[in-house]
Each structure stands twice: as C-alpha cells, then as structure tokens.
Chains A and B, each alone.
Chain A
Amino acid sequence: MKTILVVDDEPDVRDTVKMILEKKGYRVITAVDGDDCLNRLHESNPDLILLDIMMPGTPVKTVVEQIKNSKIAFLSVVRTSEAEKCDLLKQKNIVDFIQKPFDVDELIRRIGVILNE
C-alpha cells in the first residue's frame, strides 16, 4: 500500500484530501506545516508528499531541501506562470504542481501517474 503525506495548514484541506485518498486505498498521514512534515518523515517513508507552498513556519524551499527519498507534488492556491512551474519542476524530487482548488478526479489521476499506478 502506497503512503502519501498531506502537508497543509488548512484543516479542511488535510481532512478532505485524506478522506479522498484513503477511499482510493492509500495510507495517508497528515502534517500541519513544514516542520511537522519533517517530523513525520522520521516516522514514515511516504511515497509521495503533497506539499502546500504557502504555510507559516519554515519556508517550503528549506523543507524541500531536507526531503531525500519521497516524491513531492506542490499544492498551491497561489497562481504562477507556466514558465515558473516548469522551473520549479526541475527541482530535485518535485514531480507536479497542483493548483487549488483542484478537481478530485484530476487529483486522483495525477497521483496515480506520479506513483506509476
């Protein structure tokens, strides 16, 4: 069973995404910010981290630098240009950039692609 870590400071987002992904058979862990994410990594080895890019606490770029073995997909309510998305996707471990609000079916599809399912 693949493990996904959902990192978002909004409890509604965490709870909703957790519910959706667990129904699809994933094991889901949640974290409230970047620091909590790094703590969770000690407990588990997620296959994928869904990471909100605008959260209080440690900047996301610092969190990303410390993630070694997991794929990362950014979740973003902030809009950026296509050129910048491409640039961000060149970073180590960053595999996708998912705009909020997201379509549930599209989210599941993209996660399936990332995890080669």
Chain B
Amino acid sequence: MNKLEIKKELDTSQAAILLVPNIEYDDVIVDMARQLAGKKICYVTLNKTYSALKELLKFNNVDMNNIIFIDGITRNVKNPADMDDCRFMDSQITVTDLSKNLAALLKQDFDYLVFDSITDLFTYQRKSSVEYFIQTLVNILEERNCRGVFFALKGFKSSNYDQFLEINQSATLQQKENLPFGGSDLFISRMTEGIAIIDLADERPK
C-alpha cells in the first residue's frame, strides 16, 4: 500500500480523495486518525456505525477526544439518542440537506472533515448528485478553512457505482486516471482544483 501522509497532501490541497482497497480500509482509517490526532475532526460516516468506529479506534489506541462523529447509518435501524461526541442523522437525507447540515456544523471550527465514504453515498444518490455534493462541500471547506478527507472504496462493484466508473483519458488528468468516477467536465475541472487524489493501492515504495 502506498504510504499515506495526509497532512502533507493537504498542505497544498483543500481536500483529498483516498482510494482505498477494501482489505486495507480499517488500517487506513486508523492510520489517518493517528496522523490527525490532536486536531479537531468532524467524521461523517455512512460506512461504519458510530459504535463500530469507536470500537475500531479504541482497539487501536487512537485518541478520540477531538473527534465529533456524524452517523448516517444507525438511525436507519433504530432510534438512538445523540451522544456527546456523536450526532445521528437520517441516511436517506438529500445531498442538499446534507450539505446544509454540514455547512452549519462546520461553523464549529473543525480542522478536518472526514467523509466516509463517497462510495456509500451511492446507496441513495445519483452520480450527478454526488458530483454536486463534493463540489459544494469543498467550497464550504474553503470558506471554513477546513481540510477535507473523502474516502472512496477502490474496486467496489455495484450498478449505481458502475455508472460513475469512467476512466478519464484527458492528458491534463493523466495522473488522475485511476479515478473511480469520471463525471461531467465541470466536475473534472473542479477536481483539478484543490483536490488531491491519493490511490492507496499504488505500489510506490514507502
């Protein structure tokens, strides 16, 4: 796995999209959380429940004192009460409402927003909506002086996700040819501005 140096990547980019192989997913979550320890983090999860994330991070002795979790899963199966470090939201929320909620939340001066994951967003949203959401959220991050880390599962196969799987052959995006999603020209152009794509399945030496 390509070594992740998330702070270094975000020195020059407003946001980073991490393309993560399934087998390394938990390791990357832990590694990233350790690297960002001490910073104020908003962790939005559509992939693991709040309880599963806490269990994972606690098992790996990651300091969670500065992390606020936003769990978009648990409310789908039961009615949990909000915790001091977690807000539960409806998973079927529209991207517009999700953007609004995150914009309000990010007024709390977070250093980093972690969005786990773009892949899971496809459960409920069309490709065009996901593009719009990412663009909007990166703009919000810029306004709030907050860096963004977006998880995306590499090689995930589903009919919705497949619609998003286009390899962009443009010379200007040659380095980003492993994007799991192509998308509109507007999205691609936005993707070149301030968003780093980090393919963690690259076999570059550590």
On whether the two chains bind one another, the answer is yes
Q: List 28 A-B contacts (CB under 8 A).
A: A9-B123, A10-B159, A12-B158, A53-B77, A54-B76, A54-B120, A55-B123, A57-B92, A59-B75, A59-B76, A59-B77, A59-B91, A61-B75, A61-B77, A61-B78, A74-B77, A78-B47, A78-B49, A78-B73, A78-B120, A79-B48, A80-B52, A81-B51, A81-B52, A81-B55, A83-B55, A84-B51, A84-B52
Look across to chain A and name the residue whose beta carbon is closest to the beta carbon of B156: A77
A91 CB–B CB distance under 8 Å: yes
| In the complex, chain A residues 42-70 whose Cβ is within 8 Å of any chain B Cβ | 53-57, 59-61, 64
Contacts of B202 in A (CB 8 A): none
Look across to chain B and name the residue whose beta carbon is closest to the beta carbon of A78: B73
| In the complex, chain A residues 1-58 whose Cβ is within 8 Å of any chain B Cβ | 9-12, 53-57
Q: What 0/1 pattern do residues 148 to 177 of B give for CB contact below 8 A with A?
A: 000000000111000000000000000000
Contacts of B90 in A (CB 8 A): 59
Total cross-chain contacts (CB, 8 A) = 67
Contact surface of A with B, Cβ cutoff 8 Å: 9-12, 53-57, 59-61, 64, 74, 78-84, 87-88, 91
Contacts of B123 in A (CB 8 A): 9, 54-56
Contact surface of B with A, Cβ cutoff 8 Å: 46-49, 51-52, 54-55, 73-79, 90-92, 120, 123-124, 157-159
Q: Of A56, A74, A83, A88, which one neighbours B92 at CB under 8 angstroms?
A: A56
Contacts of A59 in B (CB 8 A): 75-77, 90-92
Contacts of B51 in A (CB 8 A): 80-81, 83-84
B163 to A: closest C-beta gap in Å: 13
Taken together as a complex, chains A and B put the C-alpha atoms of A83 and B158 apart, in Å, by 29
Taken together as a complex, chains A and B put the C-alpha atoms of A27 and B177 apart, in Å, by 45
Kindly name the residue among B51, B54, B75 whose own CB sees the greatest number of chain A CB atoms within 10 A.
Answer: B51
Taken together as a complex, chains A and B put the C-alpha atoms of A81 and B75 apart, in Å, by 15
Q: Are B76 and A79 in contact (CB under 8 A)?
A: no
Q: Are A54 and B73 in contact (CB under 8 A)?
A: yes
Look across to chain A and name the residue whose beta carbon is closest to the beta carbon of B54: A81
Taken together as a complex, chains A and B put the C-alpha atoms of A114 and B52 apart, in Å, by 25
Look across to chain A and name the residue whose beta carbon is closest to the beta carbon of B26: A79
B87 to A: closest C-beta gap in Å: 17
Look across to chain A and name the residue whose beta carbon is closest to the beta carbon of B78: A61
Taken together as a complex, chains A and B put the C-alpha atoms of A60 and B76 apart, in Å, by 6
Contacts of A79 in B (CB 8 A): 47-49, 52
Given contact pairs A54-B91, A79-B47, A12 touches B76 in the complex (Cβ within 8 A): no
Contacts of B92 in A (CB 8 A): 56-57, 59
Contacts of B91 in A (CB 8 A): 54, 59
Taken together as a complex, chains A and B put the C-alpha atoms of A64 and B40 apart, in Å, by 37
